[in-house]
Amino acid sequence: MGILEVTNVNKRFGGLQALSNVNLDIPAGTVHAIIGPNGAGKSTLLNCLVGKLIPDTGTVMFDGQSVLGRKPYEINQMGISRVFQTPEIFGDLSVMENMLIPCFAKRDGVFRMHSIESIANEHEIVERAEHMLEEVNMADKKDMIASSMSRGDKRRLEMAMCLVQEPKLLLLDEPTAGMARADTNNTIGLLKEIHEKRDITMVIIEHDMHVVFSLAKRITVLAQGSPLVEDLPENIKGHPKVKEAYLGEAA
């Protein structure tokens, strides 16, 4: 039994079948990649996992519990963090504050009213945030306003915000899109390191095959809402169905 089990999930948008009969069983501690052409339904699938969308049919079980019908913040508290396709960060806040918020959420839960305490006195939390920023090489940017950074830095910040929560499952929607080659390699290194050190299960959506093949233990190919194949990376590379799916899109 995997940490994440998706069974028979269907989702329609009007006349468009965005997901049809998707099944996934992801064992704990692995890195699973989902690839597929644009519009295949990859982001939609993630949305169904984090409570942004509710599938029309099917079940999504995480860690033995259903996530369906729960609010996004409840699902996050269960241990699922998500990096978005377009970075979602607190743009008006400093990088350090961006890091502090998930640290507080991790310690204090959905809501806690500490309105008089000073942040500076929360040594443990400040230290954690600083440590994570060092890990992603952003310690020098800690006083910058988040929205003033480059797209790649925003992504890295968002990833750090998710990682500092030490989720059981990390969902990454194209984590390296818009990054320079060097940054992409850094990110791959970081994710590898995190995965080895913390034993986090990861689901990665990615167009960059270099990233996919450096990280993934298994790959699912999605096309027009339904999973074509699920296999080891080396078997996916030359798979005829996969080529067809990508070429079919190009034609």
Partner 1 sequence: MLGLNTRDASLFVIVVILALTAPFLLNPFPAESSLAQFNAGYPDLMQRFAIYGIFAIGFNILFGLTGYLSFGHAAFLGVGSYAAVWMFKLLNYNILPAVILSVIVGGLFALLIGYISLRRSGIYFSILTLAFAQMSFALAYSVLTPITNGETGLQVYTDDPQYLQSADAPSIPHLFGVTMRSTQDIDFGAWSFSFNAGYYVCAVMMIVMFYLSIRIFRSPFGMMLRAIKTNQTRMNYTGLNPRPYTLAAFVISGMYAGLAGGLLAAMDPLAGAERMQWTASGEVVLMTILGGAGTLLGPVLGAGFIKYFENIFSKINENVLHQWFAFLPDGLEDFLVTILYPFVGKGWHLTLGLLFMLVVIFLPGGLMEGGQRIGRIFRKREKKPEVRAKDPEHHPKPSPHVA
Ligand X SMILES: Nc1ncnc2c1ncn2[C@@H]1O[C@H](COP(=O)(O)OP(=O)(O)OP(=O)(O)O)[C@@H](O)[C@H]1O
Residue 122 in tokens: 């929360």
Residue window 37-76: x/- pattern of binding to partner 1, with contact defined by CB under 8 A: -------------x--------------------xxx--x
- Under 8 Å between Cβ of 106 and 166: yes
- The b/e string for 197-232 (b: 16+ C-beta within 10 A; e otherwise) is eeebbbbbbbebeebbebbbebbbbbbbbbbbbbee
CB atoms within 10 A of CB 53: 17
Asked whether position 29 contacts partner 1 by CB under 8 A, the answer is: no
Contact predicate 83/158, CB 8 Å: yes
Neighbours of 5 (CB within 10 A): 17
Residue 43 sits in the site that holds Mg ion (CB under 5 A): yes
Binding partner selected for residue 40 from partner 1, ligand X, Mg ion, none, CB under the kind-specific 5 to 8 Å limit: ligand X
Measured distance CA(131)–CA(124) in Å, rounded: 11
Q: Does 225 bind partner 1 (CB under 8 A)?
A: no
88 touching partner 1, by CB under 8 A:
yes
Residue 201 identity: T
Query: Which CB, 92 or 234, lies closer to partner 1?
Result: 92
Please report, as ranges, the residues that interact with ligand X according to CB under 6 A: 13, 16, 18, 36, 38-44, 85
Q: Which stretch binds partner 1 (CB under 8 A): 35-43, 88-96, 127-135, 199-207?
A: 88-96
Q: By the criterion CB under 8 A, which residues form the site for partner 1?
A: 50, 71-73, 76-77, 81-82, 84, 88-93, 97, 100-102, 104-106, 109-120, 122, 161, 165
Q: By the criterion CB under 5 A, which residues form the site for Mg ion?
A: 43, 85
